[in-house]
Every structure is written in C-alpha cells, then in structure tokens.
Structure 1
Amino acid sequence: MVQPTQSVVRRFLPRRAAALCLALSVLTGCSVLPNEEEPLDPPKLTSKTEEHETSPVTRGNMELYLTSTASAVSDVNNSVSFPESGGILKKFYVAEGDTIKAGAPIAELETGDLPIRVKLQKLTVEQSKLRYQDAIQQNAGEDGVRLAKIDLEAQQLQLDSLQEAYNKALLFAPSSGLVTYLNDLKPGEPVEANQAIAIVSDPSKVNFVYDATDATKIKTVKDGTEVAITLDDDKSYEGSVIQTPSTAPKSDKDEVNRRNAKALIIALNPPSPAVPIGTYADIKLFIDKRDNVILIPRGALKTMFGRNYVEVMENDRVKEVDVVTGLKTSDKVEIVKGLEEGQKVVID
C-alpha cells in the first residue's frame, strides 16, 4: 500500500479542521450570526364608540326674506325734450334739485336774432293797433278802417309766427315739481330732437325702488308681498310690493324694460311719512313665510346625486333617511316629508 506523503497530509488537514468546526457548531448551537430577538406581542385593539353631534327635529315658524337698500323715487316723472327739432343749447334756466312751477322755462336753444325780431314785431303790432284805433276815432271811412284792420291782422300773424318759432327753442316745465334730472350738456353743444333734457318729478307721490343685482333672487316675489322699511329715523314702516318684473308694463324703450326686469317698486302703507325723493331706506322683503312646520338645522341636510337625506340616531345607531325639503334659509330647512318632531339628526 502506498502511504500518503507528508505534504499531502498537510494539504488536507485544514479542510478537515473546518469541517469538524462546522459540525461542532451545528451540534452546540454556536454561530457567527447574531441571536434572533424574541417575537413581540401583537398590539391591543381597543373599541371606541363613535360620537356624533346631534340636534332635535323641531316644529316652528320659518321666514325667508331678503335684506337690502332701496331708494325713494317719484311715481310721477315727466321727461321733457325738444320734440320737433334739435339745435344748439344756449342756456339752462334751472339746476338739478330745483323746485319749479308748471310753465317755467327749463332750457333754451340758440335762435340768432329771433328774440330781437320778436320784440320789434311786437312794437309793430302795437303801432298797427294805434292806427286802427285812430282810424275808427277819426271816421276814416269804411275803407280806411278796413285797411287799418287788415294791417293789424297781418302784423299779428307775423308776430305769432315769430313767437311760435321762438317758443320751439324754449323748453317749459309740463308740471310743478322737483327737477330730479338735468342733462349735462354745455352751452354751445348740439341738442338732438327728443333727447331728454330734464325730468320733473312730483315729490308728493313717492315710492321705493329696489334694483336687484341678480334678477333670479326676486323671481318668486309677487305684488302685495310684505316689506319692512326702515328710514333714517330708525323707525320701521310697513310697505308692500306694487310692481314686479312680471307685472311691469312693457315700454317702447329697451332701457326701461331692462331696468324693470330686475326691479321692484315698493309703496309705503298709509299712513306714511313724507319721504324726500332720493332718500335711501333699509328694506326687509318677506319672500316666503311658513307656520308650524318641521325644521332641522341646515348642516343636517345631505345631498348626493339629487338625493336629499339626513342621518338619524336610533338606538345608538346612525340611519340614513330620505327627506322631502321645502323652504330653505341660511340656517334652517323645512322638512315636508320624512321626519317627525323629536327625532335626532346628525350634524356635520
């Protein structure tokens, strides 16, 4: 038998030693890896009852109203203009805010030398009158008197023609009242026929006008709707709507129709105080009123895909209930169907 050489034995000794060490490690549990940590206990879950803020379903009265500001305007407003022809503005005889009498001059157009011609013709007519009277007194005969009369009539016709032309250049007040509007034209500027020059209003017939920024807010308002009106004296007066967009008369002026489409006219109920034109007042317009109805807070109503519902607490459980709503305000909702007084609804 061939014996292993010493060099071969030295080559295999390290391998055997490593194998022996590995075997001993497995048997004794020794290892170069760190020891495993002991497993932790699972977390404990505690049950907690969910709390909800609730409010009772109540029964009461409900008002839907609009608060804003309205201005006092006359119910009788006469717009004046030069109806037949325009011209060049000469001057105004009044200012905005003036109180004037019927027939008082308001404005005048340029007429050149027409005023002087009118004055001269008045003198000519006066002369013709004197000659006619003298012919009668002097027994000038039938022909002489007749000629004097014809001359007087001719001169009077000419004066009437000149005066009519001059009157067309003058604008007179159609009625007594307050000048609530005056055109801002300056002397020397052109004036068109039928251009509004001034508005004369009757201060004894005053109503309030509310101009809505959004016409949909007053869409349901009807004639006769109650209005509370508070004036500068902090006193509240009763009033009512006398004209709405749906009852306003149609006008041939688009501007008037556009204004009426978003305006309410409100009258003070008698007895009423004297209110100057231009006065501002706080108004409370009662759009709708409901008495003895089922009510819930606005925050309790939920809406999803057109469905209205609330969450009701029953036996410590939350239950969804479909409801039919009625009148709505900023903080309350009328429930027409679905709830009863005394139930508790969840509030978000």
Structure 2
Amino acid sequence: MRRNASTGRIREYQYRGECPMRCLTRFAVLLMLLITMAGCAVQQADEPTPTPLPPPPEPTLQVQRGEVIQQVQLTGSIGPAVTVGAAFGVEGKIETVYVAQYEEVTAGEVLADLNVLDELEEELELAREEAEAQAKAAQEVIRRAEIALEIAQLSLKVAQAQGRSAEEIRIEELKVEVAQMDLDKIIANLDLQSSGRVSELETAIENARLYAPMDGQLLSSLSPGRNVRPNTPVAVVGDPSVLELVVSATDEQLEILIPNMTVSITLDDKPDDVLAGYVRVLPYPYGNSATEDDGTVRITLISSPEEAGYKIGDAAHITAVIAQRDNVLWVPPDVIRNVAGRTFVIVKAPAGLQRVDVKTGVASRDRVEIIEGLSEGQIVIAP
C-alpha cells in the first residue's frame, strides 16, 4: 500500500514538473506561426497591383469600290443530247447482260434478260404443244361444219335448178347462211383457245428481254442480280453524234437560271481551258422543257468534241453569271445585319459606333453591293 501511494506521489510530482515545459513549447510554435504569417502579409503588400488588360480591338473593314458578280456554280458531265430509256415489261431480276456500258448498239438489239425468261419459254413450249393437240382434235369438228355448209350450198343449187318457188329457194339460202355462221364460229373459238395462251406467253417473253430503243451507245451499266420493276427504265441509250452537258441543279439555282443564258465551262481534266456554252433546256416548271424532261439542265457547248477534246463521261464545272455591277460600293456579307426587318451595318464614327441603314443590291459569296447608306472609305465593324 505504501509503495503504491509513494508511486502515485512520484507520478504526481513528475506531472507537475512537466507542465511548464509543455507550455513553453506550445508558445514557441505559436510565435513562429505568427512571424511567418506576418512575413507573408508584408510580402503580399510589397507586390505591385497588376494592370488590367485592354479589351481586344474590334475587327473592322473598309467600304470599298469595285465589281460585284453574282454567279451560280454547277457541276455536270458530258452526255448525248438525245437519249431514250429502256425498260423491261415484267418484274424480275436481271439474269444475263449482253452489252457493256458505252458499247455501240442498234435498235432492237437485246441488251439483257430476266431470270424468269427460262420459265416463260418452257411454258410457251407446253402451250404450243397443247394448242397443236387441240387443233388436231378440232379438225373433225371443223370438217363436219364444212360438210354441213357444202350440203347446204348444194341443196340451194338443186332448188334453183328445179325452179322451185321463191320461198323454197329462200329457205335454202338461209340454210347456207346458218351453216357458214356455224363454221366461222367454230374456227374463231378454236383460234381463241389455241392462240390466246400462246400469244400471252410470247408477249411475256418479249417483256422479259431488254431491247435497245434506238441506234446509239449504251450509257448505263447493267448488273446481273439487279431487281427491276415493269416499265421502269433501267438503261439509257444515247446518240453519241451530238454531245452536251447534263447538269443537276437545286431549286434555288433553277429559279435564277434562264434558257439561252451563256455560261463558261471548265473540264475537270483540262482546268486551264475555258469553253463557252448556253443553257438549252431547263426542267419543268422552270424553263422550256416539253418532251425531254428528266429533271436535268441541258447545256450546249459551242465548241465541238473534236475542237475541245471532250467525250462522253467527262466531268465539268459550269459558271453562270446572273448579274454584274462595275465600280460600285461593296462590303462583305458578314457585316450586314438584319434585325426585325431592318438592314443595317455598324459604322465606326468619331462619336462612337453607329447603326446605319443600308440598301443592298447584287450579292456574291464575298461581296454585297451597297446602293445607299455608305460611302467609300467608311469603317464598318465586322461581327
């Protein structure tokens, strides 16, 4: 018990002796923190205040004087001026192709046939055999009708030779007429029965073949396995003796093109040569197309293929000038603003920025004619 009490007192004395040391240590750490913070504050106070960056300058453009050309850019390819489509008359899948693309063909030449052709030809052969059998079986019926007609004719002759009464002779004449009608009816029915199915199959076989509609050149590529629909053109034959440009255009472009408008043409494989031409045909309802409306623009080249060196399939770029203004004021399209029906630009003036209403004219991709509102040399703000 004493040792425990003595030990407890010793520990109590040790604890009381350690308290001043711990307090000194904590005070020293706190003092160092205060000195460090004060140094940072002094350092921050010594740093100069940064100068704010000026706002970026507004992009400006100058009103200039020059030419403004509104034009339409088109692409097309050289093709025959006269083309005719070819179609199958029945539905099916192309089985055999006999003519390759760009080969010369003659009118009526078979270009391809369908996979149903073999089946139709087999049916036709069976139909012909059946028709022949029916015709042979009907020979007796026909012969009986012929005999009846001949008997009636002989009876009429006898009555006439014997000088019988007019009524009796008339009866014999009517018998001849009836016998003739019976024979004609039998023959007609036999023709319908025997030739009806045969004729139907012969027509189907013709429809299962694709024929060249005219002399010329096959412009299309026919591929075996392609599904086709009745009376839907799958190939085009053209006359290679007269060539022109075949061009596809958007509705927006078609609205500003006009027949006989002159154009400049550049062939893709001869970019340095500029050829002249004119719009020959515009598709309905934009122009003068009446019978050859396939939805394309047709452009005639002034130079012949021999002179300019072009051929079927050559690609080309076409430029049509819609309007041109020389020595006029212009600005880039980006500086013109349209808000709530108001057309204006922002002008940099000595008093500051100002909105100025303008009246515009001809426009191209990079220039817009200014008719009213601005003067040459004024500075406008770009967006």
Report TM bin, short chain: 0.5 to 0.7
SS where residue 219 of structure 1 aligns?
helix
After superposition, the Cα gap between the structure-2 partners of 1:270 and 1:60, relative to the gap in structure 1 and judged at 3 Å, is: same
SS where residue 181 of structure 1 aligns?
coil
Q: Distance in 1 between matches of 2:355 and 2:210?
A: 74
The alignment status of 1:94 with 2:99, answered yes or no, reads yes
Q: Distance in 2 between matches of 1:88 and 1:312?
A: 68
Q: Distance in 2 between matches of 1:68 and 1:53?
A: 34
The alignment-based identity, stated in percent, is: 28
Give the equivalent residue in structure 1 for 2:84. 78
User: Contact 2:331–2:367 (CA<8 Å) still a contact in 1?
Assistant: yes
- Equivalent of 1:321 in 351, 356, 359: 356
Name the structure with the higher helix share: 2
Give the equivalent residue in structure 1 for 2:215. 176
Which residue type is aligned with residue 219 of structure 1? E
Shift of 1:107: 3.8
- Equivalent of 2:70 in 52, 64, 71: 64
After superposition, the Cα gap between the structure-2 partners of 1:330 and 1:191, relative to the gap in structure 1 and judged at 3 Å, is: closer
1:152-301 equivalent positions in 2, closer than 5 A: 165=202, 168=206, 172-184=211-223, 186=225, 194-196=231-233, 198-212=235-249, 214-231=250-267, 232-234=269-271, 235-245=273-283, 246-247=286-287, 249=289, 260=295, 263-271=296-304, 273-301=308-336
User: Contact 1:75–1:206 (CA<8 Å) still a contact in 2?
Assistant: yes
Q: Distance in 2 between matches of 1:279 and 1:340?
A: 47
Which residue type is aligned with residue 231 of structure 2? N
User: Contact 1:182–1:199 (CA<8 Å) still a contact in 2?
Assistant: no
User: Contact 1:224–1:241 (CA<8 Å) still a contact in 2?
Assistant: yes
User: Contact 2:74–2:319 (CA<8 Å) still a contact in 1?
Assistant: yes
Shift of 1:103: 4.2
SS where residue 100 of structure 2 aligns?
coil
1:117-128 equivalent positions in 2, closer than 5 A: none
Structure 1: gaps (5+ residues):
1-47, 118-157
Structure 2: gaps (5+ residues):
1-53, 129-194
After superposition, the Cα gap between the structure-2 partners of 1:337 and 1:185, relative to the gap in structure 1 and judged at 3 Å, is: same
Shift of 1:191: 7.3
Give the alignment's TM-score, normalised by structure 2: 0.52
SS where residue 216 of structure 1 aligns?
helix
Give the alignment's TM-score, normalised by structure 1: 0.57
Deviation per CA, 1:295-317: give whole Å up to 9, x if none.
12334323322211223345564
Deviation per CA, 1:103-127: give whole Å up to 9, x if none.
433345443476xx9xxxxxxxxxx
Q: Distance in 1 between matches of 2:60 and 2:229?
A: 70
Shift of 1:209: 2.6
1:24-35 equivalent positions in 2, closer than 5 A: none
User: Contact 1:180–1:198 (CA<8 Å) still a contact in 2?
Assistant: yes
Deviation per CA, 1:322-347: give whole Å up to 9, x if none.
11112223332111222233444344
What's the C-alpha RMSD, in Å, of the aligned pairs? 4.1
User: Contact 1:206–1:275 (CA<8 Å) still a contact in 2?
Assistant: no
SS where residue 247 of structure 2 aligns?
strand
SS where residue 199 of structure 1 aligns?
strand
Give the equivalent residue in structure 2 for 1:132. none
SS where residue 194 of structure 1 aligns?
coil
Out of 202-211 and 311-320, give the one that drifted further: 311-320
- Count the aligned residue pairs: 247
